[in-house]
Chain A
């Protein structure tokens, strides 16, 4: 009976404390603490938040965002955060739940203003239709999560951060709005300089390693005729590469686009059989030295691709 009493009292205390702590608002007057899953979200958040926020990111730009380790040091970052912004569409499914559970931060629970699933505000490509199972590889049933590589989605992300920060920190809403506008104007200006490169890229056949370049292709008009991966997340097999080499010869694909974290040797092998060029493009801010800005990243990727074609 003694044990039962202890358990009952513990359960009661737990329920009371649980309700009391739910969704405590951020401290008034303090900078918003923002943590993002990727460097791209981090950089856009910084552009919108300016000096009114402090921001950190979990993944690095040269790292595969699917396979980030849920280190306890990341838990410390999330423990006191006001905003957790992530790409969504299951990109972070392999590590985000451990970090959020470990952080025990009520402000970052689903449904709270600080829990920002950025995918909710972008048009999504490759949403699975019909029956989906893992025989199709490491599919993302909710859609392709690499949407930041379309600059229009960069604008939408900036607008989302403007609205989120303004909701959590209304007194600085005008600052966030002005910063978002400035970001958009910078992006507009950059976009005007891309036109010559985009004209070179449009319709050109290329091979990509992973489906991460689908949004980039939609924007630039590059024609992805094949993927190095036979199925998403599945490393290339010899038989698949043989078929891919045939496809490249048939379509005249001259470039293999790949991320810096994949094995270049396999791509070089395919390139040697087809006369194509391997182009390592960073898919995220920080993916190459000096690319510390979202607009720089897009400018660099578009120009590199246009030059290679």
Chain B
């Protein structure tokens, strides 16, 4: 039953010697061949001395003979059995990407808001293309990989969501990125919004890190450890600033004039396999930096720099039996965050303006927020999820707001998702509201890894 299979082998020394010999012989033969061509030319000169009539007759006879030979050759070829069809390709044959094009993909995020009290989307639309994300990803060279994610939306037009260079060959298990990236603070912040199992980020992240998640531009360094026999990873970042600059607030000096004004974060991940079907992750994060906070008593845009930090812990339990993993799974996730605010920062005022009459109008207390999320797989393509959010609302003097929401997710394939959500939001001040949201996402382009 053996089927012969010729596998290319590297040339051995003997083969190399033979190859060199052939090359030398070819090189020596080349001038001889050139000389032969010159001799032919001489011969033509000799024949040119014959009479024109002899020459025409001879040429005509030669042409007829040549034509007959060509026809016979064609007939012979036609009568030959057709060449066998090409063998099954062995492996991937040649390069699959000979032009070295990067992977290009797009993700569309469509949202419908059927809430009874009007749309709760930023632009007030009932149906909106919330964002289209374009990704361009490839190895840059043997040392680096490049990833660029552009966000397109009606509100922000075009924005650089992420653009980073990753060193792929560092020693000591280090990973270093340079550029803009999702900040490794908390669990869900490192997931693209369209990859969430809910329509929006949890309120804790929205309030403390930003509605679209927290990004940073700077340096990211991570290292894996396993001194206690389980997976641990420490991730440190230093970024241009903590969060985006708020609209309508300006400080006298740039917030990051000094290195203490940059944003710094740390995250420690701890992961355990409980058994082959279930595992747990318990991680801790923190970020600190200076942010613009309002100053009362003068121009409403006047701001001063105040330190703000967010610390937190997150827990994720996953269950997916290996044999039935296509049909059954469960996730339980929770995060707790606490925002720490500098209460009495030094006011930065324009030169020559006395400080009398100006007072700090930023947050004067700390705030906490948390959520719990669970998702159970009903069928191969259907999932049922629920989330409970609670947070101390700065706009309500720290009183607690809550939200409870349920989700029905349906995946026609790995590349599309349909989601229906109901949320009851109970603010600290005012009456509760109901939100009904629909979402459809789709992915075009190369198959991406499944987020874990």
Q: Could you say which of B171, B281, B320 contacts A69, with CB atoms under 8 Å apart?
A: B320
Q: Could you say which of B89, B233, B447 contacts A90, with CB atoms under 8 Å apart?
A: B447
How far, in angstroms, from A255 to B145 measured CA to CA in the complex?
Answer: 48
Q: B322, A17: Cβ atoms under 8 Å?
A: no
With a CB–CB cut-off of 8 A, which chain A residues contact B259? 2-3, 6
Q: B276, A191: Cβ atoms under 8 Å?
A: no
Q: B7, A121: Cβ atoms under 8 Å?
A: yes
List B77-100 residues whose CB lies under 8 Å from chain A. Answer: 87-92, 96
Q: A3, B323: Cβ atoms under 8 Å?
A: no
Q: A111, B325: Cβ atoms under 8 Å?
A: no
How far, in angstroms, from A141 to B258 measured CA to CA in the complex?
Answer: 53
With a CB–CB cut-off of 8 A, which chain A residues contact B1? 151-152, 191
List A1-28 residues whose CB lies under 8 Å from chain B. Answer: 2-3, 6-7, 10-11, 14-15, 17-24
Interface string of A48-81 (1 = CB under 8 A from B): 0000000000001011100101111101100100
Known A156-B5, A235-B380; judge A18-B143 contact (CB<8 A): yes
Q: How far is the CB of B378 from chain A (nearest CB, A)?
A: 13
Q: A73, B326: Cβ atoms under 8 Å?
A: no
Interface string of A68-107 (1 = CB under 8 A from B): 0111110110010000000011100111111001111110
With a CB–CB cut-off of 8 A, which chain A residues contact B438? none
Selected interface stretch from A29-37, A122-130, A241-249, A268-276: A122-130
Is A119 an interface residue when CB atoms closer than 8 A count as contact? yes
Q: Could you say which of B89, B143, B256, B273 contacts A127, with CB atoms under 8 Å apart?
A: B89
Chain B contact residue count (CB 8 A cutoff): 65
With a CB–CB cut-off of 8 A, which chain A residues contact B347? none
Is B324 an interface residue when CB atoms closer than 8 A count as contact? yes
Is B269 an interface residue when CB atoms closer than 8 A count as contact? yes
Is A291 an interface residue when CB atoms closer than 8 A count as contact? no
Q: A261, B323: Cβ atoms under 8 Å?
A: yes
Chain A residue nearest to B223 in the complex (CB): A104
- Looking at B174, B320, B323, B325, the one whose CB has the most chain A CB atoms below 10 A away is B323
With a CB–CB cut-off of 8 A, which chain B residues contact A60? 276, 322
Interface string of B333-375 (1 = CB under 8 A from A): 0000000000000000000000000000000000000000000
With a CB–CB cut-off of 8 A, which chain A residues contact B323? 62-63, 260-261
How far, in angstroms, from A73 to B318 measured CA to CA in the complex?
Answer: 14
With a CB–CB cut-off of 8 A, which chain B residues contact A7? 178, 218-219
How far, in angstroms, from A99 to B123 measured CA to CA in the complex?
Answer: 39
Chain A residue nearest to B3 in the complex (CB): A152
Q: B142, A142: Cβ atoms under 8 Å?
A: no
Q: A20, B271: Cβ atoms under 8 Å?
A: no
Chain B residue nearest to A159 in the complex (CB): B7
How far, in angstroms, from A23 to B273 measured CA to CA in the complex?
Answer: 30
Q: B169, A67: Cβ atoms under 8 Å?
A: no
Is A166 an interface residue when CB atoms closer than 8 A count as contact? no
How far, in angstroms, from A23 to B171 measured CA to CA in the complex?
Answer: 10
Chain A residue nearest to B322 in the complex (CB): A63
How far, in angstroms, from A117 to B93 measured CA to CA in the complex?
Answer: 12
Q: A134, B452: Cβ atoms under 8 Å?
A: no
Chain B residue nearest to A59 in the complex (CB): B322
With a CB–CB cut-off of 8 A, which chain B residues contact A240? none
Q: How far is the CB of B270 from chain A (nearest CB, A)?
A: 9
Chain B residue nearest to A2 in the complex (CB): B259
With a CB–CB cut-off of 8 A, which chain B residues contact A72? 231, 233, 269, 271, 281, 452
Q: B92, A89: Cβ atoms under 8 Å?
A: yes
Interface string of A142-180 (1 = CB under 8 A from B): 110000000110011001000000000000000000000
Is B173 an interface residue when CB atoms closer than 8 A count as contact? yes
List B114-146 residues whose CB lies under 8 Å from chain A. Answer: 139, 142-145
Q: A104, B174: Cβ atoms under 8 Å?
A: yes
Q: Could you say which of A19, A22, A93, A102 contacts B224, with CB atoms under 8 Å apart?
A: A102
Q: How far is the CB of B410 from chain A (nearest CB, A)?
A: 12
Chain B residue nearest to A192 in the complex (CB): B1
Is B279 an interface residue when CB atoms closer than 8 A count as contact? yes
Q: Could you say which of A14, A97, A260 contacts B449, with CB atoms under 8 Å apart?
A: A97
Interface string of A110-141 (1 = CB under 8 A from B): 11000001011111110100000010011000
Is B262 an interface residue when CB atoms closer than 8 A count as contact? yes
Q: How far is the CB of A302 from chain B (nearest CB, A)?
A: 12
Is A203 an interface residue when CB atoms closer than 8 A count as contact? no
Is A308 an interface residue when CB atoms closer than 8 A count as contact? no
Q: B142, A121: Cβ atoms under 8 Å?
A: no
Known A7-B219, A63-B323, A159-B7; judge A17-B171 contact (CB<8 A): yes
Known A73-B231, A119-B91; judge A18-B169 contact (CB<8 A): yes
With a CB–CB cut-off of 8 A, which chain B residues contact A156? 5, 7
Chain A residue nearest to B166 in the complex (CB): A101
How far, in angstroms, from A128 to B14 measured CA to CA in the complex?
Answer: 40
Chain B residue nearest to A219 in the complex (CB): B1
- Looking at A18, A73, A234, the one whose CB has the most chain B CB atoms below 10 A away is A18
How far, in angstroms, from A279 to B147 measured CA to CA in the complex?
Answer: 45
Is B450 an interface residue when CB atoms closer than 8 A count as contact? yes
Chain B residue nearest to A23 in the complex (CB): B169
Q: How far is the CB of B180 from chain A (nearest CB, A)?
A: 13
How far, in angstroms, from A96 to B449 measured CA to CA in the complex?
Answer: 7
Q: B452, A98: Cβ atoms under 8 Å?
A: yes
How far, in angstroms, from A19 to B167 measured CA to CA in the complex?
Answer: 10
Can you list 8 A-B pairs with a CB-CB distance of less than 8 A?
A: A18-B143, A18-B168, A22-B169, A95-B450, A104-B173, A109-B169, A119-B92, A127-B89
B contact set with A: CB distance below 8 Å:
1-3, 5, 7, 87-92, 96, 139, 142-145, 166-171, 173-176, 178, 218-219, 224, 226, 230-231, 233, 238, 240, 256, 258-259, 262, 269, 271, 273, 276, 279, 281, 318, 320, 322-327, 380-381, 413-415, 446-447, 449-450, 452
- Sort A-B residue pairs by CB-CB distance and give the 5 closest, nearest first: A120-B91, A21-B171, A72-B231, A123-B88, A106-B169
New contact pairs (6) apart from A3-B240, A124-B88, CB-CB < 8 Å: A67-B326, A69-B318, A93-B446, A94-B450, A152-B1, A155-B2
